[in-house]
Amino acid sequence: MTNSKHTFKYQPNLASSLIVWSWTLLILMIGIVWWLETLKFQWPLLLIFGLFIFISAIQLVMRRVTVDRNLIIFSTVFNHSWLVIPRDQLEMITAVKGGIKVRIDGNDYQFLMPKKSRNQLINLAQND
């Protein structure tokens, strides 16, 4: 493996993604209901829509997997080194429908990823 860093975007497993994105969409729904109730523009409404866009962008940008030499690092929104896996401790990384499944110390983690990113990550993780 080369010394370069590779970064990929991911989302948590399906159940966690549904919960997180439901709370995010709730912010949008509150803004839409408020807008329909008042039927005129108000500055707090703009702040609610801005908050929705900001939180959505943070959720999309901050969740990433970084492969750097001997480490695979999964970053979340609040914890930038949530799961740090030395490649020699990686028991299994395999493709599943819509993402990857990783096993470390008997614990299974599942992440949603695009097919191209998933295949690149698996190749990087398995090749020395």
Q: What is the mean pLDDT of residues 25-50?
A: 90
Q: Which pLDDT value is given to residue 9?
A: 92
Domain count, the chain: 1
For residues 63 and 3, which has the higher predicted lDDT (pLDDT)?
63
Element of type H or E holding 81 = none
pLDDT score recorded for residue 89: 86
- Which of 40-49, 53-62, 94-103, 111-120 is predicted least confidently? 40-49
For residue 3, pLDDT over 70 is answered with no
pLDDT exceeds cutoff 90 at 41 = no
47 is written with which tokens? 């702040």
- pTM listed for this prediction: 0.78
Q: What distances in angstroms separate CA 50 from CA 23, 28, 31, 60, 69, one per listed residue?
A: 15, 10, 10, 15, 38
**Residues with Cβ within 8 Å of residue 113, at least 6 apart in sequence:** 8, 9, 10, 11, 65, 98, 99, 100, 121
pLDDT for 1 equals: 45
**What domain range is 128 assigned to?**
1-128
pLDDT digits 0-9 by tens, 68-108: 888 888 898 888 778 888 888 888 899 999 899 999 888 89
**CA R_g for the chain:** 18
CATH number at residue 31: 2.30.29.30
